[in-house]
């Protein structure tokens, strides 16, 4: 009888040891699984059509306070008298990109040669002020054709589009509240968001909305990236 009890206790002990091994294996497997499930969510804040004096500097103040990096696509004719703002963008670690010299569609898109000349002139101006040649490009007023994209890529540019918008150009006279809402709506369900915003002179509401736009993406677990 005593032997039987001993045997049962022994089997139970073996069972417990086996169970603990299975448990160890399961917990060892789990981190790999959850790592794969938690792919990083990224948001690229992008600002087109600047620099302007008031709006660009307000946006830079917010980005600095929030410790967020962004990308500014520059119209170089507008930067001629705002070199200090251009330098501030570079000095504070943001990315400067090419958005054209003039933003005048008829001139820029007249031919491949004029498109290229416009991009080169804008890039050269940015380099002359900041000492660094920009290598990202965004088409003024659209996405460009495939041939136009390839032309700029051969020139050494990474051509950057967008997949979400704060709505500051589409909605005339939009309030900051509307821009926050539109940003969240247009980025919904995207793990990699490139948000289109503008920092030219009329867009004071964009600067006003920016702290809440950043708070929204932060609360959703996004990290902030620049090109
Ligand atoms: Zn533009």
Range of the domain at 167: 44-225
For the segment 93-149, what is each residue's pLDDT rounded down to a tens digit? 999 999 999 999 999 999 999 999 999 999 999 999 999 999 999 999 988 999 999
123: in domain:
yes
Instruction: Identify whether the C-beta of residue 73 lies closer than 8 Å to the C-beta of residue 221.
Output: no
- Give me ligand 1 centre to Cα 191, in Å: 25
- Give me ligand 1 centre to Cα 39, in Å: 32
- Give me ligand 1 centre to Cα 10, in Å: 77
> For position 13, what pLDDT does the model report?
55
- Does pTM top 0.95 for this prediction? no
- Write the CATH number for 167: 3.20.20.370
Whole-number Å distance between alpha carbons of 8 and 1: 11
110: in domain:
yes
Q: How far is CA 149 from CA 115, 142, 144, 154, 174, in A?
A: 11, 12, 6, 9, 31
Please state the domain count of the chain. 1
Is the pLDDT at 29 greater than 80? The verdict is no
121: in domain:
yes
> For position 39, what pLDDT does the model report?
76
Of the candidate ranges 10-19, 113-122, 167-176, 185-194, the one whose mean pLDDT is the lowest:
10-19
Whole-number Å distance between alpha carbons of 27 and 224: 32
> For position 8, what pLDDT does the model report?
57
Stretch (H or E) spanning 76: helix 76-79
- Give me ligand 1 centre to Cα 92, in Å: 23
- Give me ligand 1 centre to Cα 161, in Å: 12
15: in domain:
no
23: in domain:
no
167: in domain:
yes
- Give me ligand 1 centre to Cα 140, in Å: 4
10: in domain:
no
* Pair of tokens at residue 219: 């609360």
Across the chain, mean pLDDT equals 89
Around 6, how many Cα atoms within 13 Å sit in the side-chain half-sphere?
3
For the segment 191-218, what is each residue's pLDDT rounded down to a tens digit? 999 999 999 999 999 999 999 999 999 9
8: in domain:
no
> For position 142, what pLDDT does the model report?
83
- Give me ligand 1 centre to Cα 19, in Å: 63
Whole-number Å distance between alpha carbons of 93 and 72: 11
- Give me ligand 1 centre to Cα 16, in Å: 68
Q: How far is CA 127 from CA 22, 62, 114, 130, in A?
A: 61, 25, 20, 5
């Amino acid at each position: 009888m005593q032997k039987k009890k001993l045997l049962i206790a022994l089997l139970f002990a073996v069972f417990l040891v086996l169970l603990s091994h299975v448990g160890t294996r399961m917990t060892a497997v789990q981190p790999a699984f959850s790592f794969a499930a938690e792919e990083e969510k990224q948001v690229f804040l992008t600002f087109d059509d600047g620099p302007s004096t008031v709006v660009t500097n307000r946006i830079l103040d917010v980005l600095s306070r929030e410790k967020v990096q962004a990308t500014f696509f520059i119209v170089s004719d507008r930067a001629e008298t705002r070199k200090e703002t251009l330098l501030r963008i570079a000095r504070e670690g943001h990315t400067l990109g090419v958005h054209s010299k003039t933003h005048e569609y008829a001139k820029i898109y007249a031919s491949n040669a004029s498109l290229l000349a416009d991009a080169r002139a804008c890039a050269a101006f940015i380099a002359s002020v900041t000492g660094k040649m920009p290598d990202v490009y965004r088409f003024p007023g659209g996405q460009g054709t495939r041939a136009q994209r390839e032309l700029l890529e051969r020139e050494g540019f990474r051509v950057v589009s967008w997949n979400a918008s704060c709505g500051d150009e589409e909605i005339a006279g939009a309030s900051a509240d509307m821009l926050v809402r539109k940003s969240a709506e247009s980025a919904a369900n995207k793990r990699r968001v490139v948000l289109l915003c503008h920092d030219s002179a009329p867009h004071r509401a964009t600067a006003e909305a920016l702290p809440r736009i950043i708070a929204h993406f932060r609360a959703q677990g996004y990290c902030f990236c620049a090109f």
